[in-house]
Amino acid sequence: MHKNEAVLNELLVELFNDILEIEQNAIRNGGISDLSITEVHTIEAIGMYTARTMSEVAADLRITVGTLTTAINKLIKKGYVERKRIEEDRRVVLIQLTKQGKVAYRVHEKFHRDLIKTTIEGLDETEEGILMTSLDKLNKFFKEKYNLTSKEH
């Protein structure tokens, strides 16, 4: 591995690991101590305002409905999510955040706002543009290389 490749590899691995650790700490410091990062990302996928089907959320998370069911059961027990069936078709299961789930969502959302603010702090417009272009190229490369479908945000 060339020197630049080794440095880039180290930076990417360290950045990925640090963001996960910082995210977990931010959530705990926000008063949410009983959720894992995976559970927080499930809450994020459910969203704040409308009930969603299990299939929709599972697709967004790129997991099976069975895997999501296990996660949702835990989140229901913890009081973050509620499940209901629609009267027109009892087979359709909708999930939505409880008040407590919405608080967790907002804590996580604030983490991301702070992360972006800190990331671009001190950069001029040109540098911001270069950073966004570089990250976009990197993101597209990994999606193509590893056959990942694009996730809309």
Q: Which residue range(s) make up the domain with 61?
A: 3-121
Express each pLDDT in 69-114 by its tens digit: 999 999 999 999 999 988 888 888 899 999 999 999 999 999 999 9
Comparing CA positions, the residue from 30, 51, 54 lying closest to residue 40 is 30
Q: Tell me, what DSSP letter sits at residue 51?
A: -
Residue at 53 is within a domain? yes
- Structural domain tally of the chain? 1
Q: What is the pTM of this model?
A: 0.84
CA within 13 Å, CB half, 93: 15
Express each pLDDT in 14-40 by its tens digit: 999 999 899 999 899 988 999 999 999
Task: Report the CATH number at residue 55.
Answer: 1.10.10.10
